[in-house]
Amino acid sequence: MADGVPNSALAPAPPMGWNSWNAHSCAVTETDIRAAADALVETGLRDAGYEYVVVDDCWMAEETDDDGRLRADPETFPSGMAALADYVHDRALKFGLYSSAGSHTCQGYQASLGRERVHAEQLADWGVDFLKYDNCGDHRGRDAVSRYAAMGDALAAVDRDIVYSICEWGESDPWEWGRNVGGQLWRVTDDAVAKWHTDRDEFGLGIADIVDRVAELDIPAAQAPGGWSDPDMLQVGNGPESGQSRHEPTDIRRPLTAAENRTHFAFWCLLGAPLFVGTDLTDISRTVLDILTNEHLLAIDQDPLGLQGTPDRRDPTREVWSKRLHDGAAVALWNRGEDPTDVHAHVDETSVPTAGDRYSVLDGWTGEQWETLGELSATVEPRGTAVFRVTPLDYSAASSTS
Ligand code: GAL
């Protein structure tokens, strides 16, 4: 860690960026990473806040050097990681790499257990700003806390700020210890796949399954500025052709629909989740780009209070969720069903501070604004989600009495 920067200051808001795994899986090359960095700039995603470019699994050569240092694969990353970091930094972006708290990565490459100091120094020398640290390989009998603390200590000892992304899949309740071992984000679920719902025998969780899982976990208290619960990277824009979909044994027959993409993004923003785009940016549609750069949704994700949204009311078709914001709250009305449905809510059942008697409502998707005495409602498309930013009109009175 660079002089005097506390861990929590490295991620005051949920980190945002792009990660190679969902788009390219194990076929990733340095050409893909350069193209993604260029595309982040050209599409306006960087200027919307997506600043990290993270190379996930499969960047390493099969063997380390004689001192146990990781080597970049000479075929797929011939320029090496320092040069790639420079390329990314030259575009005013930050650079991330991946390793695992075990003997090997999930795809069988060399990883960092027992070599944390050497690898953290390497990352710092290369100019790395972010480490995603997975849970695969032989753990040599060590528990998660000890394995993740070893890398947290190693990162704290180097003279560079490196955001520490703990990818432990939620197996040992990382929301309870992630911050204490130096993490700024910790995965709370299995891998998200580009599908609405997965069957039990399929790999990964669909988007609706992840929301259900987070609701069950009931861990909002773990999250605050500086440390974030991570429901996995975004699948917005993905379908059967994306890298991870081809790689994993999940039966994916069609891309996520526009409504599914919007609900996916709405929930990640409502949760205050890290936002790592996982689609191929060289082939991104206007619709998907508009979702990912929606300023109203991003402001909900990045709100300075840093709270996690919570469910207010759930039934098989209609769900109401809300997230307290610094000047009010965001309310999501989710239609889980297959037909257009009216979803109603009242501010009294949500996180909206209710001392006022009138509220302004901003529709996060359309930008339309109106006033309400408390009723909120929308006709919501199948699998879609209406998102309202609700602000008490006399907010200073509301905040002093709530
Ligand atoms: C999984 C991890 C994914 C991805 C993959 C790479 O364990 O959850 O996000 O990093 O490994 O092999």
Ligand 1 neighbourhood includes 188 CB (under 6 angstroms) = no
- The pLDDT value given to residue 390: 98
Every domain of the chain and the residues it spans: 8-301, 310-401
Of all protein residues, the one whose alpha carbon is nearest to atom 11 of ligand 1 is 106
* Catalytic (active site) residue 134: yes
Mean pLDDT (the chain, rounded): 96
Active-site residue, from 32, 56, 191, 301:
191
Residue 106's nearest CA partner among 66, 153, 60, 141 is 60
- The pLDDT value given to residue 156: 98
- The pLDDT value given to residue 397: 46
Active-site residue, from 134, 232, 280, 303:
134
Test site for ligand 1: of 57, 230, 233, most ligand atoms within 8 A of the Cβ: 57
- The pLDDT value given to residue 5: 57
58 Cα to the center of ligand 1, angstroms:
10
Reported as a single tens digit per residue, the pLDDT across 50-67 is: 999 999 999 999 999 999
- The pLDDT value given to residue 236: 98
Reported as a single tens digit per residue, the pLDDT across 337-359 is: 999 999 999 999 999 998 778 99
Low-confidence stretches of the chain (pLDDT < 70) are 1-6, 395-402
* Catalytic (active site) residue 191: yes
Atom of ligand 1 minimally distant from the CA of 191: 8
- Contact indicator for 206, 193 with CB cutoff of 8 Å: yes
- The pLDDT value given to residue 354: 87
The pair of structure tokens assigned to 263 is 């609900």
- The pLDDT value given to residue 394: 74
CA distance 233 to 231: 7
- Contact indicator for 127, 144 with CB cutoff of 8 Å: no
As a residue count, the chain comes to 402
Atom of ligand 1 minimally distant from the CA of 25: 6
57 Cα to the center of ligand 1, angstroms:
7
- The pLDDT value given to residue 396: 56
Q: Which fold has domain 8-301?
A: TIM Barrel (3.20.20)
166 Cα to the center of ligand 1, angstroms:
11
310-401: CATH number: 2.60.40.1180
- The pLDDT value given to residue 6: 63
Ligand 1 neighbourhood includes 168 CB (under 6 angstroms) = no
- The pLDDT value given to residue 400: 47
Ligand 1 neighbourhood includes 32 CB (under 6 angstroms) = no
Ligand 1 neighbourhood includes 56 CB (under 6 angstroms) = yes
- Contact indicator for 101, 153 with CB cutoff of 8 Å: no
Ligand 1 neighbourhood includes 21 CB (under 6 angstroms) = yes
Residue 145's nearest CA partner among 161, 168, 121, 115 is 168
- The pLDDT value given to residue 355: 75
Q: Collect all residues with Cβ–Cβ distance below 8 Å to 198 and sequence separation of at least 6.
A: 204, 205, 206, 209, 250
